[in-house]
A and B are shown apart, each in its own frame.
Chain A
């Protein structure tokens, strides 16, 4: 009985030591010069991670586009209808289930916040009626809230919208 207890004690201390050693470490994802991996020989920027997906922008195809990387299959995922030729996409963010992607898109000198639905392949402009500069969008992991900066008052304020583009909250006080 005592021997068993001793054994258990050893096991416990060893495992806790190992856990202590396993601090933060960098994961290596295959580097692909052909542009099918997470990193390429061009710039990759503004990554966001949720669930198994990493969403980011890259200029690997001569224009800044949004890319989606699946860390489980280690492949890029196609998103038909998201990247447009006449638009610069920036600051993407993704929901936990990988369905909704929010980003800032600039077209003809005007930037809007867009929501892409991977199930329906639909792109929605959430700030069509907002006559103000917008930037830095982000979507909550549950996909129900989208926050971004708006410059309507001559400075940056934070607005929170739902997926339909309706305001659902703001910061008050202090």
Chain B
């Protein structure tokens, strides 16, 4: 009789221990829960995305990424959650870096480096045409930023032996990229009237 009661208490103790372990495991799991990141963390975290630039209206994001297998400039539509094609911007023989966007993302200014000096180029999404802006100028250039209306560019130049700021005016004849057009047009990539 005493033997049986002893084994019963042993049995109970065994279960108690098991329950204790389970409770501990549960505590651990519940402790681990809040540690998972809650922010907008990338699901596909294999890629390096750098040098973000927002369009003036906040809809488009241009950045440098290795998503395409090479280092290139990509344009992402944050509203429609899709990539926008940039035909003829990224060339096979050059590295395109430091993008910057105008108000609706029509103009993209960036630095293109091939074999020679890095040049500041301007890509027009309406015409899919690339223009080299620093041809004929002396010195070394980096970090260009375009004004939201697309007319002016600021960048660093090393022509005076240190980094100084230069302002480039594309001229009064260009088509400006301003918010008024966005209200009248369905497609921001189309050329303004």
Contact = CB atoms under 8 A, between A and B. Distances in A.
Interface of A: 19-20, 22-27, 29, 38-39, 42-51, 54, 56, 71, 96, 130, 136, 138-142, 144-145, 147-149, 152-160, 167, 169-174
B166 interface: yes
B43 interface: yes
14 contacts: A19-B172, A20-B173, A45-B156, A47-B165, A51-B147, A54-B167, A140-B57, A147-B53, A152-B41, A155-B47, A157-B42, A157-B45, A160-B52, A174-B44
Counting from the closest, the 10 A-B pairs by CB-CB distance are A141-B56, A170-B40, A145-B58, A147-B52, A141-B148, A140-B58, A47-B154, A19-B173, A140-B54, A22-B171
Contacts of B82: 173
B37 A152 contact: yes
B57 A29 contact: no
Nearest to B57: A142
A152 to B, nearest CB: 7
Contacts, number: 159
B78 to A, nearest CB: 5
Contact of B61 (A43, A47, A160, A173): A160
Contact of A174 (B51, B67, B147, B170): B67
Contact of A43 (B145, B163, B173): B163
Interface of B: 37, 39-45, 47-58, 61, 63, 67, 76, 78, 81-83, 103, 133, 137, 143, 145-148, 152-156, 162-173
A158 B49 contact: yes
A167 B21 CA distance: 39
B48 A155 contact: yes
Contacts of A154: 45
B43 A24 contact: no
Contacts of A171: 42, 49, 61, 63, 76
A47 B147 CA distance: 11
B41 A157 contact: yes
B168 A25 contact: yes
A170 B52 CA distance: 11
Contacts of B147: 49-51
Contact of A49 (B53, B54, B58, B154): B154
B41 A153 contact: yes
B167 A172 contact: no
A59 to B, nearest CB: 10
A142 B56 contact: yes
B49 A156 contact: yes
A49 B167 contact: yes
A47 to B, nearest CB: 4
Contacts of A138: 52-54
B49 to A, nearest CB: 5
B48 to A, nearest CB: 5
Contact of A158 (B61, B155, B162): B61
A158 B63 contact: yes
Given A22-B171, A152-B37, A167-B40, A172 B81 contact: yes
B116 to A, nearest CB: 19
Contacts of A19: 171-173
